[in-house]
Chains A and B, each alone.
Chain A
Amino acid sequence: MSTNPLHVSPPARDNGALPPSAKRASTWASLNSVRRYLVNQLVTVLAVMSTVVVIVPLVAILVYLIYMGASSLNLAFFTHIPAPVGETGGGMANAMVGSGVILGVASLLGIPVGIGAGVYLAEFGRGSLLAAAIRFTADVLNGVPSIVMGIAAWVLLVKGRGFSALAGGVALAIMMVPTITRTTEEMLATVPHAIREAALGLGVPKWRTVLSVSLKTASPGIITGCMLAFARVAGETAPLLFTAFGNQFWSFKLTEPIAALPLQIYAYAISPYDEWHRLAWAGSLVLIAMIMVAVTLVRIYASRGVLKGAS
């Protein structure tokens, strides 16, 4: 017995005579919570499984690529043009160079315009309706199939003239502009307004402030955004099918059809020759390696907080 004056004795217990309805309710409650627990576990399992199912194709593709392509990657691959049908050897050197030419044209045309539009959105049009419309249109343009850009470039430059590297470059440039616009805008938005004010307060004109302060500060991210756009269009085949068209030989002229790595891969893949299939795998490996490097670099930058959500 406690001597604590504040102690209150507990109420008398009755021994377990619960009414039947309470019994049913508590059984139902515990069954229900068991059900809820099981559902929770099931969903967890499903979520994990889906993630696994997603990872598997990637790993499978990569492994398969490496397996199929690695054996064909020799020096000849990088230095020779395709061998005539039936002969072994040869390479995709002209396709890689051709891709370089097309991408060079595309970058020259697309990057300045894209950065300019991004600068407009971030530095001049902030908050305006026009800027919102441009932003929205750029996002929508990003979803247009690339083959449509190819048709546009075809009408502009190929119709009546013939296939050309320039047309291919223009098709890819049209694709790069909206992407670069958005990433440039996002990167410029991370530049603190205070340092723009510092420059303006010193009597630096606005155009100089944008160039030497805003762009300069955001330049690592902007460059990364351009790299991303570059990697994205480097793998595009569809817009080149009837613009650059492809070429079995060396070609550097902008007004002639030119080879491109993805085009060549496609042509070889659907051909009936095993030798060419082998080359297609090797080419794919090169293409993927290049793109993976770009994506990884972007990721490294993103983890440093420079580029968020712009991949």
Chain B
Amino acid sequence: MARTLTSFVGEAEQAAPEAAPSPIRKFLTARGSGSLADKTFAGLMLLCGFSIFGIVLFILAVLISQSKLSLHQFGLSFFKSTAWDPVAGDFGALPFIAGTLMTSFLALAMAVPLAMGVAIFLSELCPAKLRAPISFVTELLAAIPSVVYGLWAFFVLVPIMRDQLGPFLSKYLGWTGLFEGYNFGVGILTASIILAIMILPIISSITRDIMIAVPISQREAVLALGATRWEMIRTGVLRNARIGIVGAVILGLGRALGETMAVTMVIGNHPEVAKSLFAPGYTLASVLANEFSEASGDLYLSSLVEIGLVLFLVTIVVNGIARGLVWAVTRGTPARAN
């Protein structure tokens, strides 16, 4: 407990007349120690920090409590059933899981090589002057809203798929059995393509960050041994960065799993496991987007919320792993905020 300090100098020593405290000294000694304000402020900030945990816990709690009905009714068979019949009250999530996995992995397969190419180009090969504009352009790509991507995909990509790309693929690659069935333009493949375009920027920019984090000495060591540019990139950079690059890819996967609007607009919205890349499908996020606002009936809603729960848990796990990997490589460098 502090006494109010009038001065360090005790009264006995205060001899000379000039020792009378100045108005400043008087003011400052009269001020409190501010410890109450400090504690309150610190507590408030801590509360805000806890809000992050609060948000996650709240979402989890809400999703679990609202899906109790269907969890109870269907149990694990929810994930194996292909039924989706609001009228009869029979719900199963398999078509959505299948659609989500198909589009996401197909999108990854298309996006990852391209993203690597861009990352390699920007971090190792690009002339310095072009670097800023091109990376700016990839950032702009990341900033375009999903619904705008969907709009473009619906009016431009779908006709291309229906009239040009689709026939081309079934003519030359039809032997693979992947391109059966009628091609309406909407379907798994179209959704995968727009998804690939959307996850590309995040994979490439994080990969680029990771590649830049590899110390120059690693590159120089390989070059000194007489490697070509590509060999230097392969052994000096990519080998060191591969953990982080895996992380970047998984982050892209996480993004693809949850992507809603653009996929909804071009996937065809048909609750069946697609048998060909041309067939329409359905994803976890899309069924929520399409049916949630009109769902009536507790079991229907509960099933939809359960789908939301699945989506939440899967993306948390995937993103957790990805962030962990990226952190392990960049160790302390601030992670990107998206």
Question: Is there a contact between chains A and B in the complex with CB atoms less than 8 Å apart?
Answer: yes
- Of chain A, the residue at the smallest CB distance from B284 is A145
CB of A241 within 8 A of CB of B336, answer no
Q: What distance in Å separates the Cβ of A219 from its nearest Cβ neighbour in chain B?
A: 17
- A205 and B117 in contact, given A48-B125, A139-B323, A144-B315 (Cβ under 8 angstroms): no
* B288 interface residue (CB < 8 Å to A): yes
* B145 interface residue (CB < 8 Å to A): yes
CB of A238 within 8 A of CB of B51, answer no
What per-residue 1/0 map shows which CB atoms of B303-318 lie under 8 Å from chain A?
0010010011001101
CB of A241 within 8 A of CB of B292, answer yes
* B195 interface residue (CB < 8 Å to A): no
List which A234-283 residues lie within 8 A (CB) of chain B: 234-238, 241-242, 245, 262, 265-266, 269-270, 277, 280-281
Bound together, the chains give a CA A52 to CA B280 distance in angstroms of: 30
Q: What distance in Å separates the Cβ of B246 from its nearest Cβ neighbour in chain A?
A: 16
- A54 and B141 in contact, given A141-B55, A144-B258, A205-B33 (Cβ under 8 angstroms): yes
CB of B255 within 8 A of CB of A143, answer yes
CB of A152 within 8 A of CB of B58, answer yes
Q: What distance in Å separates the Cβ of B299 from its nearest Cβ neighbour in chain A?
A: 15
* A97 interface residue (CB < 8 Å to B): no
Q: Chain B contacts of A100 at CB under 8 A?
A: none
Q: What distance in Å separates the Cβ of A56 from its nearest Cβ neighbour in chain B?
A: 10
CB of B45 within 8 A of CB of A124, answer yes
What per-residue 1/0 map shows which CB atoms of B63-84 lie under 8 Å from chain A?
1001000000000000000000
* A11 interface residue (CB < 8 Å to B): no
Bound together, the chains give a CA A155 to CA B37 distance in angstroms of: 37
* B183 interface residue (CB < 8 Å to A): no
Select A117's contact among B41, B48, B125, B155, beta carbons within 8 Å. Answer: B48
Bound together, the chains give a CA A124 to CA B259 distance in angstroms of: 36
Bound together, the chains give a CA A295 to CA B338 distance in angstroms of: 13
Bound together, the chains give a CA A174 to CA B312 distance in angstroms of: 14
* A28 interface residue (CB < 8 Å to B): no
Q: In which size bucket is the chain B interface?
A: 35 or more
Q: What distance in Å separates the Cβ of B61 from its nearest Cβ neighbour in chain A?
A: 9
- A47 and B118 in contact, given A116-B47, A266-B150, A266-B261 (Cβ under 8 angstroms): yes
Bound together, the chains give a CA A125 to CA B243 distance in angstroms of: 28
Bound together, the chains give a CA A147 to CA B150 distance in angstroms of: 16
CB of A58 within 8 A of CB of B140, answer yes
* A195 interface residue (CB < 8 Å to B): no
Select B145's contact among A124, A236, A280, beta carbons within 8 Å. Answer: A236
Residue in B38, B55, B156, B335 whose Cβ sees the most chain A Cβ within 10 Å: B55
Q: What distance in Å separates the Cβ of B59 from its nearest Cβ neighbour in chain A?
A: 5
Q: What distance in Å separates the Cβ of A40 from its nearest Cβ neighbour in chain B?
A: 4
What per-residue 1/0 map shows which CB atoms of A222-243 lie under 8 Å from chain B?
0001001001101111100110
Q: What distance in Å separates the Cβ of B278 from its nearest Cβ neighbour in chain A?
A: 21
- A207 and B144 in contact, given A117-B48, A309-B334, A310-B334 (Cβ under 8 angstroms): no
